Amino acid sequence: MQLSAKKIAALLDGTVEGDPDVKVDRPSKIEEGGEGSISFLGNPKYEEYAYSTTASALLVARDFKPKKPVQATLVRVDNVYGAIAQLLERFGEAYERQPGISGNAAVAKEAQLGEGVTVGAFSSIGAGSTIGAHSIIHDQVYIGRDVTIGAHAILYPGVRILDRCQVGDHCILHSNVVVGSDGFGFTPQEDGSYKKVIHVGNVILEDHVEIGAQSAIDRGTMGSTIIREGVKMDNLIQVGHNVEIGAHTVIAAQTGIAGSTKIGKHCRIGGQVGFVGHLEIADGTQIQAQSGIASDVKEPNQALFGYPAFAYRDFVRSHAVFKRLPELYKKLSALEKAIRPPSKP
């Protein structure tokens, strides 16, 4: 796909400074560029690359004032990051697969596929499952029995959706996501062994949920594990059985959430955060990376840090003191020595 700078400016409600007819066919990083590509300057840290980039066009803010000549055609916009997101979406459309069912796919007769559905090679769709209109099922995807996939969903290669799970409209599941695996449930026996607890629930992903690669979402022991509308999850995240994650919460990589924990809406959770089970986390909670959450968070809109986590500002103050403990210990010892009464002869 080729777009002229003039066409891009019209798409992004921007203005052109330079050659309006220059053509681009791909996005690029500003430090890499390349003839026929378009890049962007959204962070002043990268301004020096604006003067040396070999990109044919460059998205910049309307108030950007170059300190040196810029060879690339400039497209000035109100919001650079919003514009590049819009432009990437446009380029992404060019890479979408054409509708159709691969001859190597295994689709059960009892499955129902909506208009314009794409099913890639060696994918399997079980009996009683429903795929909504214009959804894209890439190669080697497994969809079990009685699964519901909404419209305009995208399932990348290697995704596994197990029996009776539900995926809403406009959901994106990246490669090797597993939805509906058994939870970590075992009953200790008198002889010290463990007996598996059978999980008969399911997983419900509401609309506009995105799940990163290699993440696993366990089905409920009974009832459902629920990921509410607009949740965005990074790669390598573990969600235990009967967890509920509130609408528009975002979670970074390698976070683990133990069973039956309920996380509120509009929370922001950093990477490698660990939650113990059966917690309730208030709406708007912000948790710094590598924190451990071992008790309920009842007050909304708190920022937490540490293990176990507590108020972010208190943690930062405590850490400043912690780093000085050896020095403070020496001063304390000196003070004790100074005020210690002399020993009796």
> Which residues have a catalytic role annotated?
241
3-state secondary structure the chain: CCEEHHHHHHHHCCEEECCCCCEECEECCCCCCCCCEEEECCCHHHHHHHCCCCCCEEEEECCCCCCCCCCCEEEEECCHHHHHHHHHHHHHHHCCCCCEECCCCEECCCCEECCCCEECCCCEECCCCEECCCCEECCCCEECCCCEECCCCEECCCCEECCCCEECCCCEECCCCEEEECCCCEEECCCCCEEECCCCCEEEECCCCEECCCCEEECCCCCEEEECCCCEECCCCEECCCCEECCCCEECCCCEECCCCEECCCCEECCCCEECCCCEECCCCEECCCCEECCCECCCCCEEEECCEEEHHHHHHHHHHHHCHHHHHHHHHHHHHHHCCCCCC
Strand partners, 38: 27, 57
Q: In angstroms, rounded to a whole number, what is the distance separating the alpha carbons of residues 106 and 123? A: 6
